[in-house]
Structure 1
């Protein structure tokens, strides 16, 4: 009966928050000087089947996020947000990545109730300063993201300053002293991270330069320093992007260097959009792979999540996608081909993958979707196995 009681409690909270949000929406339109609150719900069923000794996993989880944003006072606002993830109806045969049910495949959605955001913000004349627990995303999430696909999203205890007073220039700097990761509180890291991002908009696209200096505050000497530049834009029916970065990793007496390259081109027809791309996470002599520990990793290199950590041989991801509209929603199919950046005698072919998704908004505040990932392993010595994942979800925002 415990899942029923939990669901009943959550439902009560949802109804209270939803009623408050609805009442606010029915009143006169809000300005930036007025307080507001919101509720965000995500109910998801996920299955994982792998060609190994682990049992097939299944999970039905409900994520509830309650947000309150204060009225503006002398250009200051405050935000507080709580997030809760619960197993529903006893569908909980999965390894939650924090030590439970380890005989099953991993579905990284542990049960948790936590403070998701709590910050004070100052905003005036193109300058925004924010201090406290907050969501941070930069560019396409390749280096810094919220990992929003998982039920417990990633946030940071940080101070952030953004300058956007000029029409074509935007600069941001963040100092992070804690990484609140997607595994409840079990695997959060104290940190000393510096994020600097500078963007300049042109008539052809946006040019961005960045410097991300990361350090886990664990009492030992370590650093992960990345410097890079990217360009992305769109002209008529064409889209294009290119990026290059270098990275130095130090941990004690160990020192590695690797590079990153990405290129993508797309063309929109009347019915569908086609994209072709390549992403190379380089290797240092097959001993270290380019790393992006703060990224929304699920967004890159396939939804089967086989490359959340870059292999020490590096990773070359060649992909093609086609997307379009159908029945009021959107669909995308993507094919990936993976190989090592610096192959060895035993590791070269890292497999292939097919991804497919369909999602549709309905009744103004709701969205539902179906998503599939099928990974086929390459060289047996690469440590990967065939993996199939299916997701079915419905979400609501009020």
Structure 2
């Protein structure tokens, strides 16, 4: 199977080299390097976390942190189709970090976030090195961009839009640089991962995506999975929808033997400046043999902002998760507002002995003042009294960001 994937990527590369380059380019390597774009971005954030202690009289878990992410990005001009990119990130704690029974996933450190050599021909781009990979809505593969230290991938990637309305993507990943930083034991996962994704846009109302993701994780074998699925999205007359179904089994040296499913559906309606939406998402299990996991996803974006269901980075927990949610979003002048409610139920209560994990409410207010992005975000998870291993959790974020 790995040989077939390699041939598929090789064929795509050959097609890319056979196509003429049409974009404007530098006339020399020196001009390409001197004419590159340099961007400096800063993001300061204060985060406060409270985790309730269910034992009467015992102290709640707390953590708070003021941090600053500084990012310097350089992207060269292209020369004969070739270009390069380099991005450095530094995360600094602006106060002493002294958590007690809670945690915040923004470690200090300076790292190379991206470095890559790219080649462009017509509407095909190939990259080799460390780069950002964001597929679809990041439910299965993303960058966890909300955290101060982004998740990036040591990989070879290729994306082609040479066929009208069709986007083809392929990637071979050798390492995942996770949000915990390279100094952490959990900060780097060595892998042999193949990602294949194809999207065809019939029209505004129908977009279909098919994908196959095979993860062979050498650093954490139980994250090794083989996932295949299909996704449909579209908009018409103010209505929007998303629907997705996938199936997953073990891969590589994963000691489990299982087959589990995923299902998601969302419907929205926009009547400017307000959009209302609701949806259902289910991450299933195969009894106690295994469960559907998403170890490369932007997990903070899903199943509530308190991150109660991270599952050690797997994105699922014992019993599986059924998430019913409703969201209202809108604008008041330059200010964006959104509120969301989640009801979290157990997918297979035979494994847990209870039916509900609890519920969560969240809201966010954001806008810009003189080029500085400002946001206030809050989430409150209330655990069901029968879900003894889950605790009431509140999180607050105050963020200011700017780019130069």
Quickly name the TM-score band, shorter chain normalised.
0.7 to 0.9
Task: Give CA-to-partner distance per residue, 1:56-105, whole Å, 9 cap, x none.
Answer: 111000000101111211111101110000011x25233xxxxxxxx341
Q: Report the more deviating stretch, 267-276 or 229-238.
A: 267-276
| Partner of residue 265 from structure 1, selected from 259, 264, 267 | 267
Counterpart check, 1:238 vs 2:239: yes
| Partner of residue 358 from structure 1, selected from 352, 365, 371 | 365
How far apart are the structure 2 equivalents of 1:87 and 1:223?
Answer: 34
Q: Report the more deviating stretch, 281-290 or 301-310.
A: 281-290
Counterpart check, 1:189 vs 2:194: no
How far apart are the structure 2 equivalents of 1:78 and 1:142?
Answer: 28
Aligned 8 A contact 2:346 2:354 in 1: yes
Task: Give CA-to-partner distance per residue, 1:88-132, whole Å, 9 cap, x none.
Answer: 1x25233xxxxxxxx341100010101110000001111110000
Residue aligning to 1:321 = 327
Residue 56 of structure 1 aligns to a residue in which SS?
A: strand
How far apart are the structure 1 equivalents of 2:96 and 2:221?
Answer: 41
Superposed counterparts of 1:20-39, under 5 Å: 33=26, 34-39=35-40
How far apart are the structure 2 equivalents of 1:321 and 1:355?
Answer: 9
Task: Give CA-to-partner distance per residue, 1:332-353, whole Å, 9 cap, x none.
Answer: 1000000011112623211000
Q: Residues 290, 382 of structure 1: CA spacing in aligned structure 2 closer, same or farther, 3 A cutoff?
A: farther
Aligned-residue offset at 1:308: 1.4
Residue aligning to 2:74 = 68
How far apart are the structure 1 equivalents of 2:224 and 2:170?
Answer: 18
Residue aligning to 2:29 = none
Q: Residues 253, 182 of structure 1: CA spacing in aligned structure 2 closer, same or farther, 3 A cutoff?
A: closer
Residue aligning to 2:309 = 307
Q: Residues 32, 362 of structure 1: CA spacing in aligned structure 2 closer, same or farther, 3 A cutoff?
A: farther
Residue aligning to 1:296 = 298
Aligned-residue offset at 1:322: 0.4
Counterpart check, 1:124 vs 2:121: yes
Q: Residues 176, 382 of structure 1: CA spacing in aligned structure 2 closer, same or farther, 3 A cutoff?
A: farther
Task: Give CA-to-partner distance per residue, 1:267-290, whole Å, 9 cap, x none.
Answer: 012341110100000111144321
Residue aligning to 1:57 = 63
Residue 298 of structure 1 aligns to a residue in which SS?
A: helix
Residue aligning to 1:216 = 217
How far apart are the structure 2 equivalents of 1:69 and 1:54?
Answer: 46
Q: Residues 118, 77 of structure 1: CA spacing in aligned structure 2 closer, same or farther, 3 A cutoff?
A: same
Aligned-residue offset at 1:254: 2.3
How far apart are the structure 2 equivalents of 1:120 and 1:178?
Answer: 17
Structure 2 unmatched ranges of 5 or more: 1-23, 27-34, 54-58
Task: Give CA-to-partner distance per residue, 1:172-191, whole Å, 9 cap, x none.
Answer: 10000000000011121100
Aligned-residue offset at 1:295: 0.4
Q: Report the more deviating stretch, 45-54 or 147-156.
A: 45-54
TM-score, structure 2 length as denominator?
0.85
Superposed counterparts of 1:118-197, under 5 Å: 118-185=115-182, 186=184, 187=186, 188-197=188-197
Count of residues in correspondence between the two structures = 358
Aligned-residue offset at 1:329: 1.6
How far apart are the structure 2 equivalents of 1:161 and 1:119?
Answer: 12
Task: Give CA-to-partner distance per residue, 1:282-333, whole Å, 9 cap, x none.
Answer: 1111443210000000000100001112112110000000010024121110
Aligned-residue RMSD, C-alpha? 1.7
Aligned 8 A contact 1:225 1:249 in 2: yes
Aligned 8 A contact 1:287 1:313 in 2: no
How far apart are the structure 2 equivalents of 1:302 and 1:271?
Answer: 24
Aligned 8 A contact 1:288 1:313 in 2: no
Residue 300 of structure 2 aligns to a residue in which SS?
A: helix
Task: Give CA-to-partner distance per residue, 1:142-196, whole Å, 9 cap, x none.
Answer: 0000000000000000000111111211101000000000001112110000000
How far apart are the structure 2 equivalents of 1:355 and 1:222?
Answer: 29
Aligned-residue offset at 1:32: 6.2
Residue 254 of structure 1 aligns to a residue in which SS?
A: coil
How far apart are the structure 1 equivalents of 2:249 and 2:221?
Answer: 17
Task: Give CA-to-partner distance per residue, 1:177-228, whole Å, 9 cap, x none.
Answer: 0000000111211000000000000122210000000011249697300000
Residue 151 of structure 1 aligns to a residue in which SS?
A: coil
Superposed counterparts of 1:384-395, under 5 Å: 384-395=390-401
| Partner of residue 92 from structure 1, selected from 97, 119, 127 | 97
